[in-house]
Amino acid sequence: MENQMETTTNTAPMTTEVSFFARNTLLILNCLLLTIGTCGGPLIMRLYFLHGGNRVWLSSVLQSAGFPFIIAVLIVLYFCRCTTTKNKNNKTTKVFYMRPRLFLATVCIGIITGLDNYLYAYGLARLPVSTSSLIIASQLAFTAFFAYFLVKIKFTPYSINAVVLLTVGAGVLALHASSDRPKGESKKEYTMGFVMTLLAALLYGLLLPLIELTYNKAKQEVTYTLVLEIQMVMGLFATVFCVVGMIVDNDFKVIPREASNFEFGETKYYIILCASALIWQCFFLGAIGVIFCSSALLSGIIISVLLPVTEVLAVVFYKEKFQAEKGVSLVLSLWAFASYFYGEYKVTKKLKDATHSPQQSTELALANCTSI
């Protein structure tokens, strides 16, 4: 039973043959993008709400509206492939790798992403960043739960312990949530923000394994170019979903007036919007890149590991309160992270020992034969 539980995370998504160095370089690059997005995204979005912004659908759009940036990268990769293909066999270079089946699956994921963006923006409009970050940490529990059923990932006692601790940490915040309610905000609005943020964590916990499942069921070679195409389609349809919300909520009519009344001025208002779109694109691109290089669970773990960092940055820059329950939740989160990574270390060490043992036995047998 113990041997069945102690397995490493699924690394199936990376189907192309790449060198160990290239794989790890790509993984590090995506981890950096994910770090920028996880820490910077909530801070810049909260900056918008703190200084005069109040359009939730607009904030939702900004989380995915940076997808055109990927088009520029895909164009560069296309011309690189054209040059390589001509030099090799003069075959026609494909413009898009994505097949219709994968496209339809990605469209569905993009729409779910748009809904998740709205839930998260709604919550952050009413909660301090530090509180929101600790609630979002519960997404690791949801990621683990859905990964177990969707991509058949198995748990060690350490990973189960991490999930339980993160869930308890979110529960501690829920018991004393109203203690950091912003001035002028009703208890009902604050509670709705808390619930919406928790739902956003649950939905994103579903999205990460869904993306990994899409990679596994793609029935085509999964390259990093294809990953970029997937992110572009996801971003497009998440943006379309949120733009419809903006139209219904009359956001386009309000934006010029909101910009003119913004505390930092109209120019900085639009700079903040553009910076927000770019930073959030780093988040989504990094998240799906980590899934490509490793697994959905690792992507969820990295996001959760960075959330306490975001919390501390919010306390430093926005002077948010740091009550006892936040301290307890932060300690439980750090304990959960330590537990998970220690478990991964033990599993990796056990697998290495198991791999080396047959080699050592073979070498010993050869040595005995030689001595005879």
pLDDT at position 210, please? 93
Question: How buried is residue 130: exposed, middle or buried, by Cβ count under 10 Å (0-12/13-18/19+)?
Answer: buried
At 202-225, the pLDDT tens digits run 999 999 899 989 988 988 888 888
Residues 173 and 325 sit within 8 Å (Cβ to Cβ): yes
Within a 10 A sphere around the Cβ of 367, how many other Cβ atoms? 10
Top-confidence residue, 101 or 369: 101
What gap in Å lies between CA 180 and CA 163, rounded to an integer?
25
Per-position b or e across 227-239, b if 16+ CB within 10 A of its CB: bbbbbbbbbbbbb
Residue with tokens 């043992």: 357
The structure's pTM equals 0.80
151: which DSSP letter? Answer: S
pLDDT at position 356, please? 59
Amino acid letter at 113? Answer: T
Residues 43 and 310 sit within 8 Å (Cβ to Cβ): yes
What gap in Å lies between CA 166 and CA 106, rounded to an integer?
30
At 277-299, the pLDDT tens digits run 999 999 999 998 888 888 787 78
At 305-359, the pLDDT tens digits run 787 778 778 888 888 777 777 777 778 877 877 887 787 678 767 776 776 555 5
| Cα 257 to the center of its chain, rounded Å | 33
In this predicted structure, the answer to whether residue 232 has a pLDDT above a threshold of 80 is yes
Residue with tokens 């469209």: 107
Residue with tokens 């301290």: 327
What's the chain's Rg over C-alpha atoms?
23
The answer for residues whose C-beta is within 8 angstroms of residue 24's C-beta and 6 or more apart is: none
In this predicted structure, the answer to whether residue 95 has a pLDDT above a threshold of 50 is yes
Residues 61 and 242 sit within 8 Å (Cβ to Cβ): yes
In this predicted structure, the answer to whether residue 18 has a pLDDT above a threshold of 80 is no
